[in-house]
Amino acid sequence: MKNDKWKDMRSTLSPAFTGSRLRQMFELINQVAEDSTNYLHKLHSKESCNGIELNLKDYATRFTNDAIASTAFGLQVNSFEEKDNTFYMLGRKATSFSFWMNLRLLLIIQCKGLAKLLRIEFVDKNSTKYFCQLVLDAFKYRKERNIRRPDIINLLMEARGLFPTDSPKAHNREWTDTEMVAQCFLFFFGGFETMATLICFAAYELMGNPIVQEKLFEEVEEINKRREGKRLTYEDLQGMKYLEMVVNETLRKWPPIITLNRICTKDFLFEADGERMEIKKGEVILVPVSGIHRDPQYYPNPDSFDPERFSAENKDQIKPFTFLPFGEGPRNCIASRFATLEAKAILYYLVRDFRITAAKRTALPIELEKNGLRVAPINGFWLKLIARNKI
């Protein structure tokens, strides 16, 4: 979407990610996090008291899948118990960056006219049909039964006038079925793979930096004792400063998206360091996020994992526009707060209940794939989890 149409949709969706809405959605995320942790305990009790070795990527994608299914689509899916459920399998297919998917994306970004002429679509038709039916059926079902839920579909129904709302309407635009479905799918597409990658790299760094892991465990244990058996709350998680530092440093060292793309909307003359560059309207600009995050002039010893970069004392020293895991400006990721909340929730339970160590198949140092658009290790995120009550 562009211009006013994009602004209208942005203002329509923005209320979904306010503090009050996130607090409501956290209850849904927390339930999924608890279910996924229970699954790990079952594995641990079945396999060995010495710990379980697993490819954390499979675990993390199932968690993000179920969290998004609940918060965006209103579905109760347990991908740990029902491993081949339709939502997970089609979602995984739609977000798997194969060679042909990368090629289609490249054509759509760089050669829009040709892609349109050849009718090249980014998502395969089966996935498109499934998600369309899922969202539209949810609209109909909830309207007929007056079902209200703190999720994206509920917000879209309010925007469409299907449910009354106290929020003032920012515009009078009527959204089509396709535009409604697209917002739900984009929420899924944007968060499925990227958040799973964040969780995996965070766990990998905790494994490789036991002092950091122990310090995080101390913070987690403090919250756990304070709760006295009660469920974790949104406020608890938001108050965990060291956990936030760990997540931010993971995003710095391993940004889920290695480049950002922006389309120039008018001719522009860029001048810096005595050089001039003319950027034409319609040209695509690529911002090398990973390169900026690893630049030693912004982050000394950039290859080291140091959460203290984001401490209260140090974070103000970070130069503006050099920390870009969710982009910057008006088109930054609308769900960035949701994404970090999701990652913090699962990391809380992982560190609370398990010690993260190297497995036999863990690559040390990590070896990254050299093709594709995502950052991933060649042989997967193999880690070993040892239940803390067994140590």
Task: Determine the angle formed by the axes of helices 86-95 and 56-73, rounding to 10 degrees.
Answer: 110
CA dist 221 and 352 (Å) reads 7
pLDDT given for residue 231 in this prediction: 92
Q: What does the pLDDT read at residue 49?
A: 65
Residue 312 main-chain phi, psi, to 5 deg: -60, -30
Task: Check: CB of residue 28 under 8 Å from CB of residue 67.
Answer: yes
Beta bridge partners of 387: 354
CATH pick for 3-228+335-390 out of 3.30.70.100, 3.50.50.60, 3.40.640.10, 1.10.630.10: 1.10.630.10
Give CA–CA dist 342/66, Å, rounded: 11
Round to whole Å and give the CA distance between 58 and 60: 6
Give one word for 183, left, alpha or beta, with left for phi > 0 and alpha for psi -120 to 50: alpha
The C-alpha atoms of residue 384 and residue 356 are separated, in whole angstroms, by 6
* Beta carbons of 156 and 180 less than 8 angstroms apart: yes
Can you tell me the distance from the alpha carbon of 341 to that of 27, in angstroms, rounded to the nearest whole number?
A: 11
Please tell me the predicted confidence (pLDDT) of residue 391.
43
Judge if pTM exceeds 0.75: yes
- Domain borders along the chain are 3-228+335-390
Rounded Cα distance, 10 and 303, in Å: 36
Residue type, 313: E
Contact 74, 149 (CB under 8 A): yes
pLDDT of amino acid 171 = 63
| Strands laid side by side in the 52-55 sheet | 52-55, 382-387, 354-358
Instruction: Collect the ranges in the chain with pLDDT lower than 70.
Output: 47-49, 97-100, 166-172, 372-373, 390-391
3-state secondary structure of 135: helix
What are 149-197's pLDDT values in tens digits? 878 888 888 877 777 776 666 566 788 888 888 888 888 888 888 899 9
Classify residue 368 by its DSSP letter: B
Rounded to whole angstroms, how far apart are CA atoms 110 and 108? 6
Convert the pLDDT of each residue in 109-152 to its tens digit.
Answer: 777 777 788 777 777 778 888 888 988 998 888 888 888 887 88
